[in-house]
Amino acid sequence: MYHNFIFDLYGTLVDIHTNENKTSLWKRLALFYSFQGASYTGRELRNRYRQLETAARKVPSSYTCPEICAADIFRTLYVEKGIQPTEALLTATGQFFRIESLNTLQCYPASIDTLQNLHTKGRGVYLLSNAQRIFTEYELRSLGLWELFDGILISSDEGCCKPDPAFFQILFERYGLDPADCLMIGNERTSDLAGAIAAGIDCCYLHTATSSGSADEPPKKARFTVMDGDSYALQKLLLSLAR
């Protein structure tokens, strides 16, 4: 029924919980910066990071839903203290930040099997994620997911994010996909489902613990729904649609 399956990442394939407001995170990140010669207090670093993040989101863009790049913010935080960071240092900084913020990072039970079985059936498997490469690439690799996709689009690379149909269009054009043969699978009504509708493709909505809205109210515009967050039920459904 579908030749290409386009997945959201967080809350769909991966269970993740972060807390970027922890005082300990900013204190330890400030210490990391100081090791590189950029002296900050935890409070100073947190406040300046938030200021730069807010400013980045206000930059005019041709996209309906523009995306910022966290790596640029980490870079500016070094430059403002007189340090010119290498790309390797920026990557290490982003990884440190992410690890300090993480409470949970794991695949849902059937995620890997689902991707592998879709491949076995000769189907295309793609990732369309509202995320930051400086975090997400390494999380994908550590979880064993990176090599399971035929194509990966991360919003920080493209400058736009779901639900902007332009983000979907980049995927279609880059990998030569026919929208009529594609199914979007995601856990968010406002980004995954709304984006799929705007891009003119069907969507399978998966309600998980991180989803907004009620599990008792399936979205009417979704072509398919799995409302109990069961990754095995999702797998069964998708494999039936890959026949």
Measure the CA–CA gap between 234 and 148, rounded to whole angstroms. 17
Please give the pLDDT value at position 148: 98
Contact 96, 29 (CB under 8 A): yes
Please give the pLDDT value at position 95: 97
Phi, psi for 22 (deg, rounded to 5): -65, 130
Which residues in the chain come in under a pLDDT of 50? none
For residue 163, whether the previous peptide bond is cis, meaning omega lies within 30 degrees of 0, is yes
Half-sphere exposure of 56 (CA within 13 A, CB side): 19
Amino acid letter, 94:
G
Level-2 CATH architecture, domain 4-17+105-241? 3-Layer(aba) Sandwich (3.40)
For 117, the token pair is: 């079985």
Question: Counting Cβ atoms within 10 Å, is residue 142 exposed (0-12), middle (13-18) or buried (19+)?
Answer: exposed
Measure the CA–CA gap between 4 and 46, rounded to whole angstroms. 41
| Strand 224-226, strand 202-206: pairing | parallel
DSSP H helices, the chain, are: 23-35, 42-57, 70-79, 87-101, 111-120, 133-142, 155-158, 165-175, 194-199, 231-241
Please give the pLDDT value at position 243: 76
- Sequence ranges of the domains in the chain: 4-17+105-241, 18-103
Angle between the N-to-C axes of helices 23-35 and 87-101, in degrees from 0 to 180, rounded to the nearest 10: 160
Residue 132: name the closest of 6, 241, 10, 22 by CA: 10
Contact 90, 208 (CB under 8 A): no
Task: Give the number of other CB atoms < 10 A from CB of residue 64.
Answer: 13
